[in-house]
């Protein structure tokens, strides 16, 4: 059993086999193998405090269905079920997706990272730059040349073809 | 525009400061060229994170030869017609062939033939056709390095251009 400590000082006890889905944690455990018990405590303070819980839920679901098995011999029905579960898991607000991507990146959890990125790109699909800017609260800060020439001409092409 | 299956709440986090290597990976999941262009128009950081040369690979576009002022291509990726701008001069010409990234257009009145890339506006006027050729039919356009080889045929005769 290992213990993860979040940025708001909460403790999460997780089976090593489950936490091993994070390649970062796996490496840390490997490095500390054979040392004192205190070394089985891992700080995950660099990620948003709401996220460890979500990550653990994700781990548990995937631990029950390891990916190697998922691809090789999982029945069609089970695969569909996992897909549905993932769709629901990632159907969350854009801020949580942001945190999940950053967490999956720092903890090195490839499938979580892929799933969250996929969802963000789904949100971006078929949305205008202005809409995306509004959702993500981004100011564009383009140079005069980009603002006046490049972007309008690229987008004119998109607009023309959106309704072609 | 189709409706999207996602929640629309506005964000409270700073997406403009999102790490650019991660933004790049997100941009690589956009399979439509139009989505990629819009991604690049959101803000400076996003634009720099998704270089133009990493635009999503597209299936080949099929050029539609229609007697119209605009040029249509059919996109196999999105299953719809797209309009592409062709240089003003070419609008008066007849499109007779396409190969690699080039289209071949001919002005039947004064026998001039041009080879052009409609996406970059790059244009190579070719030597005028010999007078005895009244209709031309492209057989093949192939580009290897800098050499472009066009083969025209009229009936059983063949005419070759090297440009």
The complex's ipTM works out to 0.75
| pLDDT tens-digit map of B66-119 | 666 666 778 777 777 777 766 555 566 777 777 667 777 777 667 677 777 776
A108 lies in a domain? yes
A66 lies in a domain? yes
A161 lies in a domain? no
Share of chain B above pLDDT 70, in %: 53
Give the total number of structural domains in chain A.
Answer: 1
Give the C-alpha separation, A92 to A122, whole Å: 12
* A77 contacts A32 by C-beta, under 8 angstroms: no
Distance from CA of B141 to the nearest CA of A (A): 27
A162 lies in a domain? no
Read off the pLDDT of each residue in B1-29 and give the average, rounded to a whole number: 71
Contact between B4 and A164 using a beta-carbon 8 Å cutoff: no
Q: How many residues does chain A have?
A: 164
**Does residue A99 have a pLDDT over 80?**
yes
User: Which residue shows structure tokens 């090297």?
Assistant: B162
A157 lies in a domain? no
Query: Among A162, B81, B80, which Cα is nearest to B72's?
Result: B81
Measured between alpha carbons, how far is residue A146 from residues A141, B35, B120, B131 in Å? Answer: 10, 18, 18, 48
A146 lies in a domain? no
Q: What is the pLDDT of residue A116?
A: 92
Provide the domain limits for residue A6.
2-139
**Does residue B5 have a pLDDT over 50?**
no
**Does residue B155 have a pLDDT over 80?**
no
B-chain CB neighbours of A95 within 8 Å are 9, 11-13
CATH assignment of the domain containing A88: 3.30.710.10
Contact between B1 and A126 using a beta-carbon 8 Å cutoff: yes
**Helix, strand, coil content of chain A in percent (nearest 5):** 65, 10, 25
Contact between A135 and B11 using a beta-carbon 8 Å cutoff: yes
* B134 contacts B157 by C-beta, under 8 angstroms: no
- Which phi-psi region, left, alpha or beta, contains residue A137 (left: φ > 0; alpha: ψ -120 to 50)? left
**Chain B, nearest residue to A151 by Cα:** B41
| pLDDT tens-digit map of B111-143 | 677 777 776 777 777 777 665 555 555 555 555
B52 touches chain A (CB under 8 A): no
* CB contacts < 8 A (A, B): 128
**Does residue A102 have a pLDDT over 80?**
yes
User: Which residue shows structure tokens 């029950």?
Assistant: A64
């Amino acid at each position: 059993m290992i213990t993860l400590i979040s940025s708001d000082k909460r403790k999460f006890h997780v089976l090593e086999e489950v936490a091993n889905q994070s390649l970062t944690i796996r490496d840390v455990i490997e490095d500390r193998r054979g040392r004192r018990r205190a070394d089985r405590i891992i700080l995950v303070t660099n990620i948003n405090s709401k996220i460890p819980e979500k990550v653990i839920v994700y781990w548990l679901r995937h631990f029950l269905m390891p990916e190697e098995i998922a691809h090789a011999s999982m029945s069609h029905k089970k695969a569909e079920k996992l897909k549905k579960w993932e769709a629901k898991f990632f159907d969350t607000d854009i801020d949580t997706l942001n945190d999940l991507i950053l967490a999956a990146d720092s903890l090195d959890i490839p499938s979580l990272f892929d799933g969250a990125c996929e969802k963000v790109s789904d949100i971006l699909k078929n949305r205008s730059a202005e809409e995306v800017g509004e959702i993500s609260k981004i100011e564009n800060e383009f140079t005069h040349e980009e603002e006046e020439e490049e972007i309008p001409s690229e987008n004119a092409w998109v607009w023309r073809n959106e309704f072609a | 525009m189709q409706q999207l299956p996602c929640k629309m709440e506005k964000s409270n986090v700073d997406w403009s400061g999102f790490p650019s290597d991660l933004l790049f990976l997100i941009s690589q999941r956009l399979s439509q060229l139009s989505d990629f262009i819009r991604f690049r128009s959101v803000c400076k950081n996003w634009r720099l994170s998704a270089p133009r040369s990493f635009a999503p690979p597209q299936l080949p576009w099929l050029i539609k030869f229609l007697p119209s002022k605009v040029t249509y291509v059919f996109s196999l990726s999105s299953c719809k017609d797209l309009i592409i701008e062709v240089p003003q001069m070419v609008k008066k010409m007849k499109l007779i062939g396409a190969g690699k990234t080039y289209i071949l257009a001919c002005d039947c009145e004064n026998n001039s033939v041009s080879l052009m890339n409609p996406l970059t506006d790059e244009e190579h006027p070719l030597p005028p056709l010999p007078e005895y050729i009244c209709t031309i039919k492209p057989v093949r356009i192939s580009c290897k390095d800098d050499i472009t080889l066009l083969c025209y045929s009229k009936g059983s005769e063949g005419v070759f251009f090297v440009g």
